Every structure is written in C-alpha cells, then in structure tokens.
Amino acid sequence: MDRGELQRLSKDELIDLVLRLQRPEKTSRTSSKPPASDRKERRDKARPGGAKPGHEGKARAMSETFDRLVDHRPGQCPCCQAALSDDLPAETVSEHETVELPEIHPVVERHRRLSVRCPSCGTVVTAAAPNAARGTPFGPRLHAVATYLKTFQALSYERLQGAFADLFALTISQGGLTNMLRRSQIAFASERDRAIAALRRAKVVASDETGVRIEGSNAYQWVFRSTDAVIHRAASTRGAVVVHDLMDGHRPDVWCSDRYSAQQGHGEKHQTCLAHLARDVAYAEEASEDMLPSRLRLWLRRAFALADGIDTFAASTIAAKRRALERSLAEIFAASTGCDLARDRHQKFWRARDQLLTFAAYPGLVEPTNNACERALRPAVIQRKVTNGYRAMWAAKGEADVRTVVDTARLRPGTNTFQTILKTVSAWLLRPESPGGG
C-alpha cells in the first residue's frame, strides 16, 4: 500500500489498519505453526539446557539379551597376595556392556547358467534360466531398507544413493533406486485395501490434510484415522471429492476434523477440533483487550477437563457437566463485543456450536481434538520441507500406501516400522509370480 492509497483511507479504516499492524505475531501457541518456527526474543536470558538442579539422573537400560558374556574376576588378594582361583564362588558387583555394529557388506550371489553335452546322443543341454535372471538383482531386505530410508528418514535420491555407497559399499544408480522403490510400493497395495475396508466399517473417523508439492504443482496429503486403520492419500485437490471417493458412501456415526468446509458433513454427527479453536482463542486473548476471548478460553479449559476425566465419570455426571457447559456457552454467545478479532472468534464458536461437545455423547470413543491426525501428517510435512515434494504422482501415492500400512500396524503395540516394511515387501517379492520371485 503506497502513500496515495493511505491518504484515501477514512479515519476508521486507518485506525483498523494500525490496530491490525500492532497485533502480535502468531506462534505455535496461538496458531498451527510448528514450535520450531517460534523465535526466542531474549536468547541471552534463556535458561540453559541440560538437567536442572535436583533432577534425578537416568542411566541407559541394559539390553535384555546379549551375544557374549565376559566375566572379570580378581586374580590376587591385595591384602595377603594370595592367588584367587577360578573355582571360588563369586558375586556380581556390577554389570556393564559395550554395543557395536558388525561391518555390513552386501551378500552377492552369482548364478551361472551352464550347458552340458549329453554323452549318449551328443545333444547340448542348457540349464533352465534361474529366477535371478528373470527378476530384479536386489533382494527383499535391500528393497525394505531403501523404502524405510526414503519414506521414514526423508532421504532424497541423492542422499539415499550416498547412504548405500557409504554404509554398504553398494553402488546403485538413482534410476535403479527409483525402480526399487516403485517395485516395493506395489507390495503394499493389498494391505492398503484391507485398511480402507476397515475404515469404511468404522463408526468414528477423523481426517486432516496438508499441502505438498507433486510434479512441481500444489497438491495435498490427506489422512483418515479410525481405531482400526490409518489411511494416507495423495491427491491433487483439497476438495471433498477425496473424502467421497475414499469412503465410498459410508457415513460413520461421528466425523472429527477442523472447520474446513471440505471435511464437513461426512458423518451423522461432527466433532470440531477444540485444539484449533483454542489456538485461535489464545491469539485473540493476546491481541485483544476484550474479555470475550478470556471467557472462551476458560470455557475450553472446562471442556478439556471433561474430556480428560470422561472415562472415570458416571453417565449422569457427564450429562450434567455437558449441560453446564452448554448453558455457559449460551451466556457467552449472548454477550456483545466491539473488537473485530473477538467477534471473529465468537462467530467461529457460534457456527460450530452443535459440534463442540459431541465427544461427551461418546465417552472414550470420540476425542475432543484432531491431534492424532495432525501427528500422523507430521512426517509428511517433514518430508516436504526436506525434499520439496515428489517428482511424480506415483511416488506420492506409493509412499502414502507405505505410510498407510505402517501406521495401521502401529495401532498395535510393539510394532517395528522396518520389520513391517520388510515383512510386506518379502511376502510380495518372494512369490513365484512376482518380479524377482523365487
């Protein structure tokens, strides 16, 4: 805005402009920005890191299993200089351990196809072509390592190529890595379909999305979550068509999401993410002198307290607390405000008034926030920042399938990400009819 445009503004417009410019910057506490984006204004006075006075120290836990046991016995008594034989009873005073990785190198198996002349008739007989001649030269574990490093450690093709060369002394071209990843991703299709089938049976579904670059254009990474499945999906659009295509007509009892319109109307009832509203309220309370944001913050605190203890409350207690929250919210709605920022938060709560306390009607089944979906999307955000997106749509969709299978498996305790990838890839590559199958 130049000087001439400012001169044409009315007095009220100038006042509004100045007030907007005076508003504080948004932080991770008052918006969806990640904590790493916060700037510490007074780093010189920030508390030093490390353990604080009085903190009880923690030691590394000993491994449950070990490969070799070495006993260290005293050989001589320092008092009388007598020899201490190995057959004397001993007590364990302390235990220590060293941990090391073995030298890793690829195991190369060379297959030779031989021909032999028959001594009876003179015919030259050639052995049938082995499976190694028909499929990929790379085994399932190599495929799994590439998939794990690319998908869950956010390595670019160049860094992945360097990792194989430096760690395993294995030279693979970027084209070879591309083919390996594409081949691996196909292995996750059947497990992905099972997860989608589970989602389409779910009574409670949550969803979220984030931006991503695919083939140089803006696109989106979606996530859908239920108690039995986590579905990732790459799409070129942020529209509701993504939801309709995935759910295939299924309408769960409750849908949980933020206030974005494309994520509305997909369930019989809806739970709005209270964490999103809490961040908006925190910013309004910081930037405005109006009391309405403070009243909304206190109301949200009571709602979160109900959610935290909902598993321990009796049904009558939950119903009473919900009615009290509804009455309190009605009083807040009846209040007037002259602040545009406070009015904006007032209108957000008003539009979502029927979606704020849905969780109270489904104790233990519906969360008041959509944080689980946000956490599931976080690795995709990191991948976007590190690699700047995907070269091709097949890569984005294939990686979404990998994340779907792994995140769904993670719903069960004790799941190992790499072992899940290895098991899935091995089951597909080792089939006789698959490329490289045996």
pLDDT of residue 224 exceeding 60: yes
CA distances from 346 to 161, 291, 295, 300 (A): 53, 11, 11, 13
Q: Is the pLDDT of residue 437 over 60?
A: no
Q: How confident is the model at residue 435 (pLDDT cuts 50, 70, 90)?
A: low
Closest CA to 253 of 207, 208, 202: 202
Mean per-residue pLDDT of the chain: 88
Q: 196 vs 429, which has greater pLDDT? A: 196
Q: Is the pLDDT of residue 340 over 80?
A: yes
Alpha-carbon distance 120 to 141, whole Å?
Answer: 45
The angle, 0 to 180 degrees and rounded to 10, between the axes of the packed helices 140-152 and 417-429 is: 140
Question: Pairing between strand 254-257 and 204-214?
Answer: parallel
Alpha helices in 238-392 (DSSP H): 241-247, 274-287, 292-308, 315-334, 340-351, 371-387
Q: What is the pLDDT of residues 128-143, one digit of tens each?
A: 988 888 778 899 999 9
In 3D, which of 81, 84, 61 has the Cα closest to residue 72? Answer: 84
Question: Please, is 92 exposed, middle or buried when counting C-beta atoms within 10 Å of its C-beta (0-12, 13-18, 19+)?
Answer: exposed
The count of other CB atoms within 10 Å of the CB of residue 36 is 7
Q: 397: Cβ–Cβ under 8 A, 6 or more apart, which residues?
A: 233, 234
Q: Read off the pLDDT of residues 195-219 as tens digits, 9 standing for 90 and up.
A: 999 999 999 999 999 999 999 999 9
- Percent of the chain at pLDDT > 90 equals 67
Percent of the chain with pLDDT over 70: 87
Tokens at 371, concatenated: 């944080």
Residues 261-271: tens digit of each pLDDT: 999 999 999 99
Q: Which of 76-85, 111-120, 177-186, 333-342 has the lowest mean pLDDT?
A: 333-342
Those residues whose C-beta lies under 8 Å from the C-beta of residue 171, and which sit 6 or more positions away, are 164, 165
Tens of pLDDT along 155-181?
989 999 999 999 999 999 999 999 999
Strand partners, 257: 272
What is the pLDDT, as a whole number, of residue 381?
Answer: 87
Identify the pLDDT of residue 53.
75
Range in 34-43, 99-108, 320-329 with the lowest mean pLDDT: 34-43
**Shortest CA distance to 281 belongs to which of 347, 210, 328, 334?**
347
Average pLDDT over residues 415-420: 95
Over residues 13-18, the mean pLDDT reads 66
Q: Which residues contact 387 (CB under 8 A, 6 or more apart)?
A: 154, 156
DSSP letters spanning 399-436:
HHHHHHHHHHHHTSTT--HHHHHHHHHHHHHTSTTSTT
What residues contact 286, with CB distance under 8 A and at least 6 apart?
24, 30
DSSP state of 67: S
Directed axis angle between helix 274-287 and helix 292-308, to 10°? 150
Output the CA torsion 62→68→73→75 (10° steps): -150
Mean pLDDT on 52-61: 76
Task: Determine the pLDDT at residue 10.
Answer: 74
| DSSP category for residue 40 | -
Give the count of alpha carbons within 13 A of 380, CB side only.
33
Residue 354 has pLDDT above 60, yes or no: yes
Short-list 269, 233, 431, CA closest to 355: 269
pLDDT at 3: 67
Q: Which two tokens stand for residue 404?
A: 């779907």
pTM > 0.85:
no
**Is 50 exceeded by the pLDDT of residue 438?**
no
Tell me the CA end-to-end span of the chain in Å, nearest whole number. Answer: 69
| 43-81 core/surface letters (b: 16 or more CB in 10 A; e: else) | eeeeeeeeeeeeeeeeeeeeeeeeeeeeeeeeeeeeeee
- Mean pLDDT value of segment 349-357: 94
- For residue 430, name the pLDDT band (cuts at 50, 70, 90): confident
> What DSSP element (H or E) covers 256?
strand 254-257
